[in-house]
Amino acid sequence: MGAPSAVAAFNNDLKYNNINKLLCLCSAFAYSASFCADWQTRFTVPLIVRSDKRSYTLSKCIAVAVAGGTSVVTGAAAFIAFLCATHEQILPSAVEIDNEFSWQAFGDLLVNGQPALFFLCYLCVLFLAAAFFASLGLAASGYFPNKYVAYISPFALDFVLNELANKLGLPIWLDPGRLATARILGSTTSSILRIVVISFLSFTVLCDILFIQTAKRRLANG
């Protein structure tokens, strides 16, 4: 067998090296602790005076999700570019695609010789996953406005959710950690993207609702 392709190297690194754990931390470090900083420095006071609590909390949710997703996708895109530049082949051999990749997530794109779309789909998954984990850290900081809570809670809660999913045999769409690496077998690209988008957007909106409610209460009493 020849040297591994860029696709194979990316697939192995993403799915077999606990990258989802690093994903939790990197997404949270981007901006999840911003509410903690505002609250502890009392910077929330002039912000609320100039706008209102709902606008402040909603804009914080959007900024955290975008910052978390962008920070992870930027690094992932740079890594993909590095792999493509340093590997002789981007696509695996036809035999490898048929035997190993065709039944994995986005394998139908590789069968059709579309590695660019393959990578793009994974970047979409990573963006949505990172946006959720960043929003999870923000939601936790609404209850406990401490930057360490904002940083560590996505990692800790991902571990708890993964354990629950394994113990209870829950489907992958209820396990954000596995969903972040798109470990969905035997499905088409459109089906996978539909599951990922609906699941992560639902999780993110739930986190945002929890943050808005707790933060508005805290700001009203603060």
Q: Are 110 and 97 in contact (CB under 8 A)?
A: yes
pTM of the model: 0.92
CB atoms < 10 A from the CB of 82, how many? 12
* pLDDT digits 0-9 by tens, 110-136: 999 999 999 999 999 999 999 999 999
| Token couple for 151 | 């940083």
Listed in sequence order, the residues at least 6 apart from 118 whose beta carbon sits closer than 8 Å to its beta carbon are 7, 106, 109, 110
Q: Considering only CA atoms, which of 72, 76, 77 is closest in space to residue 31?
A: 72
**Position 69, amino acid:** G
* pLDDT digits 0-9 by tens, 20-44: 678 888 899 999 999 999 998 888 8
Q: Are 139 and 211 in contact (CB under 8 A)?
A: yes
Q: Are 83 and 6 in contact (CB under 8 A)?
A: yes
* pLDDT digits 0-9 by tens, 155-207: 898 889 889 988 998 888 888 988 998 888 888 999 999 999 999 999 999 99
Distance in angstroms (rounded) separating the CA atoms of residues 127 and 27:
9
